[in-house]
Structure 1
Amino acid sequence: MKPPGLLRRWPPTTWPTPEISGTVERDTNGLDGWRGLPRAQRPPWPDEAELAVVMRQLGTVPPLVTPAEVDELRDRLAVAAEGRAFLLQGGDPVESFAGNTEARLVANAATLAQMALVLAYGGSMPVVSVARAAGGYAHPAAAPIDHAGLPSWRGDLINDRTPAEAARVPDPQRLILAYANAAGAMNVLRAHFTGDLADLQSVHRWQQGLLDDVDPATPHLNAAQELGRAMAFIRACGVPDAAARPHARPYSSHDALVLEYERPLVRAARGRRYGLSGHLLGLSEQVGRLDGAHVDLVARIANPVTVTLGPDTLPEATVELCERLNPDNVAGRLTLTCRIGPGRVDESLPPIVEKVTAAGHRVLWQCDPMAAPGTPFARILEGVRGYFAVHRALCTHPGGLRVALDGDRPGTPAGGGRGLGRDRALDLAYQVAELLKG
């Protein structure tokens, strides 16, 4: 006798058709044009044949993110570009394979969630949280040779940090290791963002734990207590957590530095091409050359993109980048990240904002106040205040903040370590929330 229903013929409409992105082979419409263009930061690969084999392997693996998620993030960033939301981007600026642990990933994600809660309450607007995680295993090299006379360490995606000649030889197999590490990191983030990090009350309890037994004169204590009362009100009203925080999703970001890693993960879907190594891809100052390979590849995919602007960036060059990367002027496509120290922000940023605004480009403005690892906290605050002052004077929206986090070290002092610990990160969030109030 057949078990009831076990062998039933299900109609074909019972299960939704999965979204499948197709691998893009050699592209005749210019996707591979970057190969013949000037290219900064290209690793000196010793074996081009092995590199080609690895790239073909990467072209067959499942993507790390989906086109639907990428489109969703771009739509949410469009709201921020229009002045009705705020982008918070944070995490490890340079990830490593050894540091790719669940504890560290969750600590940084929890810190990001706590900062977002403070900003959303203080600024009275939605916050789009994007983790700097699951892909940033490479970093720009200042020179081919380091101070010890060895080939420079370019990040775990390229070579080994061990100070030895053999360890510093670029290894194409590390691209596969980077993909595996990124996939593991995304699994961890997805699991926690659908669990404890999706629970506003849990996020607030973690934050409240940092304020237990503190001195009554602690900065922002009153604001924290106000937030606590608001959370209690939400709980008392029986508002479901899904309704209070409907967009809890682990968006990932990293700089698209190594094109041999990025290109195989470009896939075709929805009539467009997506870089599915991450949701939000970045161009650092070192690779932002208008006629360069990085700009060419990124211009041909549908992901939202960040472009880092330094103190020497020219307004005219910024407008040209806007035209190249966002020719259809789609809100949410392009974020301009101002990495200009407090000593020059008043001088360098206004001409850029004025020129881009006058040209009619719909961009999202973001501040990165941590010009270097270990930037003193007072200088970070000075840079953020200068950034807000410029936008207030020009009547534009200071729509985002990017910070380096070291969330698994709660007591990180000002200027110590690569990023902000939980206490300093929350301090910064409260300060930015006050600035958002105007």
Structure 2
Amino acid sequence: MHPTIAPLRDEGAGGGVAPPVDDRTWTPSSWRARPAWQQPTWPDGDALAATSGELSALPPLVFAGEARALRSQLAAVGRGEAFLLQGGDCAETFAAFGADAIRDKLKVLLQMAVALTYGAQLPVVKVGRIAGQFAKPRSGDTETRDGVELPVYRGDAVNALEFSEEARTPDPHRLVQVYHQAAATLNLLRAFTRGGFADLERVQQWNQQFVAESPQGRRYEQLAEEITRALAFLKACGVDVENDPTFHTVDFWTSHEALLLEYEEALTRRDSLTGQWYDCSAHMLWIGERTRQLDGAHVEFLSGVGNPIGVKLGPKSTVDEVEELAARLNPEGELGRLTLISRMGAQHAGDRLPELVRAVRDRGLPVVWSCDPMHGNTFTSDNGFKTRHFEDVLTETRTFFAVHAEEGTVPGGIHVELTGEDVTECLGGAQEIVDGQLGTRYESACDPRLNNRQALEMAFQVAELLRTDESG
């Protein structure tokens, strides 16, 4: 018997009108005066307050200068001088944690970045959904199984997946565990990206292995071979590929949905250099489709921090909402501050996206456009698994590029849920996963992710789109 989730009250984004920016004084806690959607019902207020106090006393996970550096790189994306690759788990878990898991996620993102760099002939800004993506918005507050109703699983930051009263009771002490796991993850990521793991020739060898071993991968053999020849050409020209740090280290940034506002507030710090507030839980934060209400707590909170901010836009998004969001979140009009992440679904992107892109262009709003081709294409398979079809993911991505080509705007990047492991959560792709195989290795706690081969196949296909866009 499949579980059912009790629906929340209507939370269509865009409701309400926010007060003018000039009439408000922002503080890290000013969000508390606004309606806050998708927050857990914490049973022990004293425990929550104690946890927030403990987090507030801990060192920042990232630094303001790093967030400013990412804003600068995203500004280059907005000008068409770089390409954004953002990807990682749907939701991190405490159990699936370790050096191998972190390494494999980083590995697949580095592999994707190499293909995209060659396809776009541009630098790729690499942002992981990692070191903080422990909470998920849900369509209901409760879940019922066999007549038993319990709080819905909201990610390991809140409660546990096991269906029992004890496991499903929100526990604020989990927020401290999120912090410590995020800190350990960041430490390892910095070591990997600076210690030779990101060596360009090594990453290209991994891609060649994918091409050689995968029947579908062989269609990308020409592109992979071109990259290899390009590296050989650099060596022949006297470029010291073996010793130049440019070829051995990479910038890698972290991001997550700023969903649990108690956690985000506790990790917000004032920069000693600029006096600006920064959310030091990640370099980049985003607001989800379910929490982007103009009068809501999430828009209020992120309007006051200096990090680069993303906003997810579903098929019901309107031009007026997007303009108001830009006014609230980027009143200074700085390119690199605001990324609009479309997640329309393959069926709706061609109808809904052009109007928004055209309006943003015509109104001169300085934004980065990115495509999340995952969330609008989710459905339940015949076997009861929440899944996505790889071809739908590609279709929405192709539509995203086609719309921007038609409107003369910049298709800045892609935002993808993926894993470095060989899971069976999304249908199709290089391994031609079918419905009956989903249960073989379905490991996601929430939404289905592209496995390592599907993610690489997507990168090669996007690289081909970027080459076409460049040549056209």
TM over 0.5: yes
State how far apart, in whole Å, the 2-side matches of 1:326 and 1:217 are: 41
Who is 2:191 aligned against? 191
Who is 1:218 aligned against? 218
The answer to whether the Cα contact below 8 Å between 1:316 and 1:355 also exists between their aligned partners in 2 is: no
1:426 partner SS: helix
2:97 partner SS: coil
2:453 aligned with 1:423: yes
Who is 2:9 aligned against? none
1:337 partner SS: strand
2:50 aligned with 1:49: no
Who is 2:352 aligned against? 348
**Pair 1:314–1:279, CA change in 2 (3 A):** same
2:150 partner SS: coil
**Pair 1:219–1:172, CA change in 2 (3 A):** same
> Which of 94, 104, 109 matches 1:112?
109
User: Which piece of structure 1 moves more, 258-267 or 142-151?
Assistant: 142-151
2:159 partner SS: coil
2:181 aligned with 1:208: no
> Which of 218, 242, 256 matches 1:254?
256
**Pair 1:207–1:312, CA change in 2 (3 A):** same
Per-residue CA deviation, residues 142-195 of structure 1 (Å, 9 max, x unaligned), is 111113221101111011111001211111111101101111111111111112
State how far apart, in whole Å, the 1-side matches of 2:326 and 2:217 are: 46
What runs of 5+ residues in structure 1 fail to find an aligned partner? 1-26
User: Which piece of structure 1 moves more, 345-354 or 242-251?
Assistant: 242-251
2:464 partner SS: helix
State how far apart, in whole Å, the 1-side matches of 2:316 and 2:150 are: 30
1:144 partner SS: strand
CA deviation after TM superposition for structure 1 residue 304, in Å: 0.2
| 2:421 counterpart letter in structure 1 | D
CA deviation after TM superposition for structure 1 residue 246, in Å: 8.1
Who is 1:139 aligned against? 136
**1:117-136 aligned within 5 A:** 117-136=114-133
**Pair 1:165–1:219, CA change in 2 (3 A):** same
Query: How large is the Cα RMSD of the aligned pairs?
Result: 1.9
User: Which piece of structure 1 moves more, 369-378 or 88-97?
Assistant: 369-378
**1:8-407 aligned within 5 A:** 29-148=26-145, 149-212=149-212, 218-236=218-236, 237-240=238-241, 242=244, 244-245=246-247, 248-269=250-271, 270=273, 271-371=275-375, 372=378, 374-407=387-420
State how far apart, in whole Å, the 2-side matches of 1:87 and 1:304 are: 13
Aligned pairs, number: 412
State how far apart, in whole Å, the 2-side matches of 1:430 and 1:132 are: 20
**Pair 1:366–1:214, CA change in 2 (3 A):** closer
State how far apart, in whole Å, the 2-side matches of 1:118 and 1:279 are: 24
User: Which piece of structure 1 moves more, 238-247 or 178-187?
Assistant: 238-247
State how far apart, in whole Å, the 1-side matches of 2:452 and 2:284 are: 24
2:212 partner SS: coil
Per-residue CA deviation, residues 109-140 of structure 1 (Å, 9 max, x unaligned), is 11000100001011101100001100010101
User: Which piece of structure 1 moves more, 256-265 or 165-174?
Assistant: 165-174
**Pair 1:243–1:103, CA change in 2 (3 A):** closer
User: Which piece of structure 1 moves more, 222-231 or 174-183?
Assistant: 222-231
State how far apart, in whole Å, the 2-side matches of 1:213 and 1:379 are: 25
**Pair 1:28–1:218, CA change in 2 (3 A):** closer
Per-residue CA deviation, residues 214-234 of structure 1 (Å, 9 max, x unaligned), is 559921111111111112223
**Pair 1:224–1:411, CA change in 2 (3 A):** farther
State how far apart, in whole Å, the 2-side matches of 1:429 and 1:217 are: 11
CA deviation after TM superposition for structure 1 residue 28, in Å: 7.2
CA deviation after TM superposition for structure 1 residue 432, in Å: 0.7
The answer to whether the Cα contact below 8 Å between 2:34 and 2:296 also exists between their aligned partners in 1 is: yes
The answer to whether the Cα contact below 8 Å between 1:113 and 1:203 also exists between their aligned partners in 2 is: yes
The answer to whether the Cα contact below 8 Å between 2:194 and 2:249 also exists between their aligned partners in 1 is: no
CA deviation after TM superposition for structure 1 residue 251, in Å: 0.6
State how far apart, in whole Å, the 2-side matches of 1:327 and 1:174 are: 35
Per-residue CA deviation, residues 227-279 of structure 1 (Å, 9 max, x unaligned), is 11112223443334646448712210000000010001000112211000000
CA deviation after TM superposition for structure 1 residue 409, in Å: 1.4
The answer to whether the Cα contact below 8 Å between 1:254 and 1:278 also exists between their aligned partners in 2 is: yes
Per-residue CA deviation, residues 357-387 of structure 1 (Å, 9 max, x unaligned), is 2221110000011123631111111111111
State how far apart, in whole Å, the 1-side matches of 2:320 and 2:77 are: 24
State how far apart, in whole Å, the 2-side matches of 1:301 and 1:216 are: 44
The answer to whether the Cα contact below 8 Å between 1:410 and 1:423 also exists between their aligned partners in 2 is: no
The answer to whether the Cα contact below 8 Å between 1:113 and 1:197 also exists between their aligned partners in 2 is: no
| 2:265 counterpart letter in structure 1 | R
**Pair 1:214–1:272, CA change in 2 (3 A):** closer
**Pair 1:209–1:218, CA change in 2 (3 A):** closer
State how far apart, in whole Å, the 2-side matches of 1:166 and 1:110 are: 37
The answer to whether the Cα contact below 8 Å between 2:212 and 2:218 also exists between their aligned partners in 1 is: no
**Pair 1:247–1:337, CA change in 2 (3 A):** farther
1:434 partner SS: helix
The answer to whether the Cα contact below 8 Å between 1:304 and 1:334 also exists between their aligned partners in 2 is: yes
Among the aligned pairs, what percent are the same residue? 39
